[in-house]
Structure 1
């Protein structure tokens, strides 16, 4: 069992395989876009597999593949297939925007991927274009349909943004009436790469819940799974469920079981830290598995208590406004 210095179990890795994305969501990257990383700056699949092998041996039981958008990276199924075969890994999942995903659904299921998180902030095609900068709504919906048709567990991730898509909260909840999926509303975070001063939220998890309760007074609280980042609910009679993730309020830090690795190999023990250790550099220096294991254990033994402390510990010239595409979600 892998524990941090606060006694929290660490068994979940979020691995970002690329910073590139085929959408341009304004809450994820600056308006002018990003200077994409060169291929040599990214971790290779071989390096990712080595790192994941070591981490699974240490106690990581779940790996989520993120980006950027994972399916824009060439031959991504090779990595996913190799990861799915790791002895000791209990769960392999993916977060995707769904633009390119539909053709891979059957193959994903065949290698044991049971759950996919689909980013979808609106059910209106015009607002989708406004938020993402791309006319890909139909492809995303096709992916959702394909996932459900193949009996995959589907979680819709919707970032709630004042003045952009709050009118979509109720239509998204309505999806759960007939579809066996979970719609998770996420507080907007400051990771969009533009460096502006972030003055908090108008739509925090409390207000999101109040909005839903106003339309569905029969909403019921569900038991939250162990390590859950979401407060979970269900409207009586609906097939699906609802989650609300207090990502900016950071109410779930006390039970956080996850670590992140960015596309360039930066290990983050908290979403809000500035990166603690570059594992890609260690691998390329020829450090063996024992050295990787020891240095990561030391890193986990110096983990911030919560997201607020992690943010305070960042260097003075390093604020929290890097792009989510470069962090990995």
Structure 2
């Protein structure tokens, strides 16, 4: 196992397989979308498999596939079968918007994927359209229940946005009464492809929790998993649970065990950095696996203490889209 310069183990890779998406969520990218990279600028599946194999030898054992939307990339399922076979990788999960996911549930089970994070910011079809700029709510909502019926561990990721979907907080909590789903409310972040579109964070973790407690006074804290980014709660008698991710407040950085690889092969040791190293360029220069290991180890020894330090190291303001970062 490899540790960073703050004594945190590096065991979890979030791997973006594409920068493309079939939604246009306003908090993620501009309405007109982003300028997608040419295929040659993205990591190939072979390059991704090599990177994961090297990281697995260093102690990474969990991989979450992200995008963009992972299922818009061709031949993703074949890639996932190969990824799951890498020695040392014992947990493979995926984050998806659910539009194309339903047709692959059987293969996902065969691959060994146990957990799926479903991006769903509202249970109202009109608000869904306003947020995503696409009329796809019925597909996503059906995918939620198909995933549950198939036995997947399902987490709903809902970004809480002032004036957009705060009326959905309680309906989403209510889902946990009858379904074994984890609803995770996420503080809004500035990664929308345009720079920050809010001057302050109106809905932070405290306001979200206060809203839930006002309706559910019995809400109780439950134990958080090691390295959890969410603070987790449960309403007694409910089948599911609730989490809040302080993504903007960044209060969970002290136990962060994750790194990110963007679809273009940029290594991010923190969500808020601007990318610390192009692994794609190193691989294409002919570097050996042993050399690559050494570079990973050295890079992890220069990791920012938290998201605020990572942001302070940036050479330019945040203007990138979450779809290019990799979720």
1:82 corresponding residue in structure 2: 82
Q: TM-score, normalised by structure 2?
A: 0.99
Provide Cα deviations, 1:271-324, integer angstroms capped at 9, x if missing partner: 000100100111111101001100111100000010000000111xx1122100
Mean Cα displacement is larger for which, 197-206 or 135-144?
Answer: 197-206
Question: Within 2, Cα distance between the matches of 1:31 and 1:81?
Answer: 34
Provide Cα deviations, 1:220-260, integer angstroms capped at 9, x if missing partner: 11001100000000111100000000000000000000000
1:137 corresponding residue in structure 2: 137
Q: Paired residues, what number?
A: 327
Question: Within 2, Cα distance between the matches of 1:320 and 1:272?
Answer: 8
**Cα distance change, pair 241–196 in 1 and its aligned pair in 2 (3 A):** closer
SS in 1 for 2:64: strand
Mean Cα displacement is larger for which, 198-207 or 185-194?
Answer: 198-207
Question: Within 1, Cα distance between the matches of 2:121 and 2:3?
Answer: 35
Give the deviation of 1:218 after TM superposition. 0.8
Give the alignment's Cα RMSD to 1 decimal. Answer: 0.8
2:319 corresponding residue in structure 1: 321
Runs of 4+ in 1 over 6 A off after TM superposition: none
Question: Within 2, Cα distance between the matches of 1:200 and 1:7?
Answer: 32
SS in 2 for 1:26: coil
SS in 2 for 1:49: helix
2:259 corresponding residue in structure 1: 259
1:113 corresponding residue in structure 2: 113
Question: Within 2, Cα distance between the matches of 1:286 and 1:139?
Answer: 44
Query: 2:302 aligned with 1:286, yes or no?
Result: no
1:271 corresponding residue in structure 2: 271
2:206 corresponding residue in structure 1: 206
1:100 corresponding residue in structure 2: 100
Mean Cα displacement is larger for which, 266-275 or 192-201?
Answer: 192-201
Unaligned stretches of 5+ in structure 2?
none
Question: Within 2, Cα distance between the matches of 1:250 and 1:106?
Answer: 36
Question: Within 1, Cα distance between the matches of 2:54 and 2:102?
Answer: 31
1:231 corresponding residue in structure 2: 231
Give the deviation of 1:198 after TM superposition. 4.7
Q: TM-score, normalised by structure 1?
A: 0.98
2:72 corresponding residue in structure 1: 72
CA contact (8 A) 2:60 2:89 kept: yes
CA contact (8 A) 2:246 2:252 kept: yes
Give the deviation of 1:197 after TM superposition. 6.2
Mean Cα displacement is larger for which, 188-197 or 142-151?
Answer: 188-197
SS in 1 for 2:298: helix
Question: Within 2, Cα distance between the matches of 1:90 and 1:189?
Answer: 30
**Cα distance change, pair 88–254 in 1 and its aligned pair in 2 (3 A):** same
Unaligned stretches of 5+ in structure 1?
none
